[in-house]
Amino acid sequence: MKNYQKAFGVIAVLATMPLMAQTTIKVTTFADEEGENTNACSLREAIVAAETRKSYGGCEVPFIDIGYTIQLEGGTYYLNKELTPKIALNIIGKDPSNWDIKGLLTNDYPALTALQTRINASGNSRIFNTAVYQQSLTLVNIILENGKAADVGGAIYAGADVTLQDSQILNSQAPKGGAIYLGGAKANLTIERSLVQGNGINSTLGSILAMSCKFNTSYATRILNFNSNSFIKNGSGNSLSTFELCGAIETNFVNNTIAKNNASLNNGNIIKFTADADPSNSITNILSADSTLILQNNTIVENSAHTTFLYDKLGKKDLNFNVLAFNTGSYACRYLLGAAAEQKDVGINLKFNALNLTGNTAKCDLPKEVIPTGNSNIDIFQNNRVFSDLLEPLKEEVNEGTRFLPIYYPKNNNTSTDLVDTDPKNEGGCSLIDQRQLVRTSTPTYYQSDNPNSCDIGSVELTKLTATDSNVVQGANNSNTNISLTELLNDYQTGADLAKSRLENPVYSSQVLALKNSLAYYENLITQTKANLKYRGIYITLKNSYSPDYLKDNIISIVPSEDNNHIFKPFNSVNYEVSTEVIGRGQTVELAKKDGNKDRLKCEWNSSLQQIILYRSDDEVSADYFDFCKYTVTLKENRNISSSGLIKASFANIAPVSGDGTITFKYLANEIIPLNLLKYANDEGDGPANTLIIKSNKSQFADLPIYLPSKISKDGIFKVVKADREGPCPGKDSKNTCYGGNIYIQANNVFNTFNDTITYYVYDADNVISSTPGTIKLVSTATTTDDTRGGGGGSLGILSLASLLGLAAYRRYRK
């Protein structure tokens, strides 16, 4: 009994562990308590509870767990001293979403709001110290503010990986690493979609970031990723650097705004990526030759320092699509050991940057070899460009449209030296999205090859209405294709059912408007699709690029128009109209234009569905060809704003379905049972044939549509004795026998008391067989209405016994 109880206890624990993994500890007080109040859970107590895996203070947690997430509410959590977690932690602030209104970009629920959760050290201490126990830290939707340290890391002193997502570090101070200091042998840093502002006013090194360069005698190795952030107004005129980079590092700056930061005008740097010594002296170098730096689509302007970007020959440095100009100081770029012009092998690659390459003030001093004649960079001095020509002032009044981050919008003057549409051939490797998380549509489209919407220089992309090509890749066989209309409607119904179930679930009470919107969307799709069924129709959804993906097949995202005030017109039938034009069928779009039967291809915009429906008036599949259609999206309030895209499609035959069913046969009745197997099968995945003009009376099935893998049922109880019609199966399967009309089965033994099954396939009118067999259950009334067997004993007739023995022998034979 003891062994049984022990085993049961282990099973119970194992069964609950997946449910307990990453348990959420909810903090319920803003006060910095430490065990004295059992009625409330503080942030500090939640960390201790997670460390000890048991309740502490007012925080109740399960004993067994593999990880914890600490959930904070909106408000300010004040600290009396720094937090030093002993385990890896995920700390999440209140979700900055408003489920009562639609978002400006998505035109769907929820709208993005400003951050609501703060951790404030009040200038009394650092906020997080993970260097002591070297545990990773992830912060999401949290503002860290007013941290202060006497040595390093005003907000965070890290001894392990740190990740900040959709967060902020404000007004934190330390002599080294005003916001963050990375210590130890390996502490990686990721900051995404965040604001770092007002830090390091009293810092000497790294008003935003500093780090240990070596651990013992080896370089500290780190990966630093900065994506879609704003680094604003950090440092002072006494700082030596803003980003103090050293060690063996892989550093990536992508889509960031780095602006109005300060360092010494005598010897300060904004981004410092050097060894601080002659590169040939490996003993004193603080930067490994294996280090890399990528600056991609950043706006680095209006900073004040002697040098904005300081470099030497160590490490590889790639600069693409950056605005690195309009800074106050002696140099925008400077080589550590002197004049750069005649230097060789400095490891710099530049494409499509806006730089001062020839002016004497705040010049980007680069070797001649990296800026050859005809290079792709814009020389703002040579083109007599000033700040106000290329950029709008810093947008400090942030809102949902800026993702609550200060940014600069580029100006479009429709000249070749603007920051807009700079790479028409898509040669520079533009980032896929901009700082606002908006799509950079940098790939030329078929109808916009002469005026492509290409990559903008800097962190922000001016969004232009773009009707993208759909599955149009030269030499590729990918295309939009029809899927089973039965499955399509089932998917819509699944979406509607999910919305209904969540509306009834109190967990989703804050999302009622969004769920009602979702339910109405799916119900409309069901109703309108049924009203517009086409034979082998391809239903292509046009959706606003930033709206949620409710569907999974045949979707085209429309990048909406952004006006001069940076207000978006999300794609919908209210703001835009859609027109279509049939191109035809061919192996390429050029050949399709010559299609003599293009009138058989239909391409229609259905505003009720918000879909383009492609279908044919004949039943021809595409085979080795494609069907092409042009569509055009036009802004209603300004018809000069329009965009066209190309759709490549393929029509395929959807295999028929062999359904399942149940047939009851009479116990002791020596009957021949007719089976109409087509009663359980269908070819409805192709849609209604009556929408065809050619072959409008097309049958669903072949003349001899039924194929039986065996004329004997699974357990040998039944056999097929005849059929209304039989002959060779269709097409390539002609070696097999197929049947038409009813098939007839008979039991081998009338005394059988067992059930059995028979399987079958069907062929459609195009001689395509069902992909899986259908199963018909053959149920004896001996197991249902004619079951006279009692529960208290009795005898078994000799004939029934013989039947059982015969069946057992047959089953052994089959094995």
Coil/strand/helix, residue 508 = helix
User: Count of CB atoms within 10 A of residue 632's CB?
Assistant: 17
Residue 660 or residue 360, greater confidence: 660
Please check whether residue 583 is in contact with residue 589, taking contact to mean a CB–CB distance below 8 angstroms: yes
Rounded to an integer, the average pLDDT of 797-807 is 42
pLDDT of residue 470: 85
pLDDT of residue 805: 42
Q: Residue 810 is encoded by which pair of tokens? A: 């047959």
**pLDDT per residue as tens digits for the range 771-795:** 999 999 999 887 776 555 444 333 3
Q: How far apart are CA 361 and CA 357, in angstroms?
A: 10
Indicate the range of 6-10, 69-73, 754-758, 787-791 predicted with least confidence.
6-10
Coil/strand/helix, residue 538 = strand
Q: Residue 491 is encoded by which pair of tokens? A: 């998917």
pLDDT of residue 546: 84
pLDDT of residue 276: 87
pLDDT of residue 61: 87
Indicate the range of 59-73, 463-477, 583-597, 716-730 predicted with least confidence.
463-477
Looking at the domain 657-788+796-814, which fold is it? Answer: Immunoglobulin-like (2.60.40)
Residue 10 or residue 51, greater confidence: 51
Please check whether residue 227 is in contact with residue 263, taking contact to mean a CB–CB distance below 8 angstroms: no
Rounded to an integer, the average pLDDT of 568-591 is 93
Q: What is the mean pLDDT of the chain?
A: 90
Which residue in the block uniquely carries the two structure tokens 């810093």?
394
Q: Is the dihedral of CA 325, 330, 336, 341 positive or negative?
A: positive
Coil/strand/helix, residue 49 = helix
Indicate the range of 180-184, 186-190, 493-497, 745-749 predicted with least confidence.
745-749
For the chain, the first-to-last Cα distance in angstroms comes to 40
The pLDDT-based confidence of 767 (bands split at 50, 70, 90) is: very high
Rounded to an integer, the average pLDDT of 411-432 is 88
The pLDDT-based confidence of 280 (bands split at 50, 70, 90) is: low
pLDDT of residue 279: 64
| pLDDT surpasses 80 at 474 | no
Q: Is the dihedral of CA 181, 183, 185, 186 positive or negative?
A: negative
Angle at 341 between CA 335 and CA 346, to 5 degrees: 50
Please check whether residue 34 is in contact with residue 42, taking contact to mean a CB–CB distance below 8 angstroms: yes
Single out the residue of 715, 712, 709 nearest to residue 814, CA to CA: 715
Indicate the range of 58-62, 229-233, 243-247, 406-410 predicted with least confidence.
58-62
The pLDDT-based confidence of 16 (bands split at 50, 70, 90) is: very low
Q: How far apart are CA 781 and CA 787, in angstroms?
A: 7
Burial bucket for residue 37 (CB in 10 Å: 0-12, 13-18, 19+): middle
- Burial of 419-458, coded b for 16+ CB within 10 Å and e otherwise, reads bbbbbbeeebebbebbbbebbbbbebbebbeeebbbbbbb
Residue 441 or residue 234, greater confidence: 234
**pLDDT per residue as tens digits for the range 350-369:** 999 999 999 888 999 999 99
pLDDT of residue 477: 55
Q: How far apart are CA 81 and CA 221, in angstroms?
A: 30
Q: Please give the model's pTM, rounded to 2 decimal places.
A: 0.86
pLDDT of residue 143: 99
Rounded to an integer, the average pLDDT of 671-695 is 94
**pLDDT per residue as tens digits for the range 321-335:** 999 999 999 999 999
| pLDDT surpasses 90 at 442 | no
Q: How far apart are CA 219 and CA 473, in angstroms?
A: 46
Chain-centroid distance, C-alpha 34: 40
Indicate the range of 171-175, 417-421, 666-670 predicted with least confidence.
666-670
pLDDT of residue 645: 93
Q: How far apart are CA 369 and CA 366, in angstroms?
A: 8
Q: How is the chain split into domains, by residue range?
A: 536-650, 657-788+796-814
Q: How far apart are CA 3 and CA 46, in angstroms?
A: 37
Coil/strand/helix, residue 217 = coil
| pLDDT surpasses 60 at 2 | no
pLDDT of residue 22: 66
The pLDDT-based confidence of 472 (bands split at 50, 70, 90) is: low
Q: Percent of the chain at pLDDT above 70?
A: 91
